[in-house]
């Protein structure tokens, strides 16, 4: 059909021209002043011209037909390549551990790969009408970082956010992505990848706790306790608030180890840590400095209140029976307390002052509290 239209387009004008020449010849022949030789010559020239035009039109027709066929073949190849690329993309996204996602300007999902069901419990179709904020726990942080990425036209790289699984469990996802813009540089959405890092996050949290905790008692270890105490002290100095500090040491602890063994000594240390936490009621920081030596830091606490807490601790310890190898034993502690003043302005100075007060209590008979 298309070829017939092309033939009509090229040949109708030519046939019209030939027909007009026959009409012209008829009119001329009917006139009395007709010159046959001139007409034959003129007609021959015109026939040659018409033949050339006819050959040219045939050539153009063949060329046009070839180009159309080639264009059609190229289009077919392009569509095939596009379909193959699409299938390749789907195969890769389904095989990858990461989830490929895209959201529009309205924050609703435009695309999400099939792996999302394994991670969040939703089928991709369920998310297409949902906003990312419907399943995001940390909405504010995500929004701030997305807006920053859009304004600065920079990618979002390996950011951690808490999401809500379809079964309402909390999971941690690591997200990377880039903003999408149209040809007019107008923001159109965001696309990227995400991975489930819930296990890694919990493992990292456990490692952080281990790095900050004393392995035996579960209290803060020396390094972390001193770091945190220093932060609170500096803050209290700026805000002109009270700060107190206490060191606690078990009296005659060596005798427990020598008599009952180190396992018994460790048991006493663990139970003592529990008693120390019960007395503090979350009002302070508690750390194990080493051996049988512990410390308290009391932010926003004056010396009188800190001393009362240490009296409560001492009374609690004195009444507590530690069961060691089936035998009840009782222990006592000596306490040295210092507080923020003109003489003691740094944690090192407070620590030194408390240590001096502690050994003063030991020298004065132990089981004492000295300020």
Catalytic residue numbers read 292
Beta-sheet pairing, 333-339 with 369-370: parallel
- Tell me if 306 sits within 8 A of 285, measured CB to CB: no
Sign of CA dihedral 138, 140, 146, 152: negative
Write the CB contacts of 95 (distance below 8 Å, at least 6 apart in sequence).
none
User: How many whole angstroms separate alpha carbon 343 and alpha carbon 354?
Assistant: 13
User: How many whole angstroms separate alpha carbon 204 and alpha carbon 94?
Assistant: 28
Buried b (16+ CB within 10 A) or exposed e, 233-269: beebeeeeebbbbbbbbbbebeebeeebeeebbebbb
- Tell me if 220 sits within 8 A of 213, measured CB to CB: yes
Number of Cβ within 10 Å of residue 310's Cβ equals 22
């Amino acid at each position: 059909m298309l070829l017939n239209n092309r033939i009509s387009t090229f040949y109708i004008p030519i046939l019209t021209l030939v027909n007009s020449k026959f009409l012209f010849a008829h009119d001329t022949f009917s006139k009395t002043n007709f010159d046959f030789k001139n007409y034959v010559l003129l007609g021959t020239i015109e026939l040659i011209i018409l033949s050339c035009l006819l050959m040219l039109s045939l050539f153009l027709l063949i060329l046009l037909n070839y180009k159309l066929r080639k264009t059609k073949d190229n289009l077919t190849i392009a569509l095939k390549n596009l379909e193959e690329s699409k299938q390749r993309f789907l195969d890769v996204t389904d095989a990858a551990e990461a989830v490929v996602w895209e959201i529009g300007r309205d924050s609703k999902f435009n695309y999400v790969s099939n792996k999302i069901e394994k991670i969040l419990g939703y089928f991709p179709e369920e998310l297409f009408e949902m906003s990312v904020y419907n399943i995001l726990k940390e909405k504010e942080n995500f929004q701030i970082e997305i807006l920053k990425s859009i304004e600065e036209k920079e990618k979002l790289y390996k950011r951690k956010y808490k999401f809500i699984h379809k079964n309402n469990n909390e999971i941690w996802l690591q997200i990377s992505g880039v903003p999408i813009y149209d040809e007019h540089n107008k923001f159109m959405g965001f696309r990227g990848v995400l991975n489930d890092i819930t296990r890694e996050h919990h493992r990292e949290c456990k490692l952080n706790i281990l790095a900050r905790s004393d392995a035996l008692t579960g209290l803060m270890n020396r390094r972390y306790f001193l770091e945190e105490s220093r932060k609170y002290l500096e803050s209290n100095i700026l805000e002109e608030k009270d700060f107190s500090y206490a060191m606690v040491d078990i009296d005659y602890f060596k005798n427990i180890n020598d008599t009952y063994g180190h396992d018994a000594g460790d048991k006493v240390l663990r139970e003592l840590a529990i008693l120390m936490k019960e007395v503090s009621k979350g009002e302070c920081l508690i750390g194990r400095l080493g051996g049988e030596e512990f410390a308290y830091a009391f932010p926003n606490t004056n010396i009188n209140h800190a001393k009362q807490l240490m009296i409560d601790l001492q009374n609690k310890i004195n009444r507590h029976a530690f069961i060691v190898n089936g035998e009840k034993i009782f222990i006592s502690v000596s306490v040295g307390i210092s507080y923020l003043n003109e003489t003691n302005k740094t944690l090192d100075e407070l620590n030194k002052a408390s240590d001096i007060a502690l050994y003063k209590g030991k020298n004065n008979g132990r089981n004492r509290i000295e300020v």
